[in-house]
Amino acid sequence: MAEENFMSVAFQSNRPLIIEKFSKFLDEQLPKTVFRGKGIIWYQGSKLRHIFQLSGKRCNFQRDEWTTLPCNQLVFIGQNLDAVKIKSQLEECLDII
């Protein structure tokens, strides 16, 4: 079996994401080689957590109450991912508190 180069990129932050910037990241910057993503998202101005699920091109968000302190915890799974670039792009989506 040939090497598939599957890998995951994890991202965590204690600052909220700006929804418009994160949407742009998903639509325009997320590598096409990402086939799965999931996690918990804290959006600027939201009192709820958002459970994030990405499978292929399908994306789903479900709102829920926080059971911990607000934070972002995301993981993306794909092939030949540039972890440094993805994390940098996600950092650009964060609110400046």
Predicted model pTM: 0.92
Residue at 17 is within a domain: yes
| CATH for 22 | 3.30.1220.10
* Token reading at 80: 């030949």
Asked if pLDDT for residue 97 goes beyond 90, the answer is no
pLDDT at 3: 64
The residue type of 54 is: L
Separation between Cα atoms, residue 54 and residue 58, nearest integer Å = 6
Asked if pLDDT for residue 2 goes beyond 80, the answer is no
Residue at 1 is within a domain: no
**Number of domains forming the structure of the chain:** 1
**Enclosing domain of residue 51:** 11-57+65-91
Sign of CA pseudo-dihedral 76, 79, 84, 90: negative
φ, ψ for residue 21 (rounded to 5)? -70, -40
Asked if pLDDT for residue 64 goes beyond 60, the answer is yes
Residue at 36 is within a domain: yes
Residue at 25 is within a domain: yes
Share of the chain above pLDDT 70, in %: 97
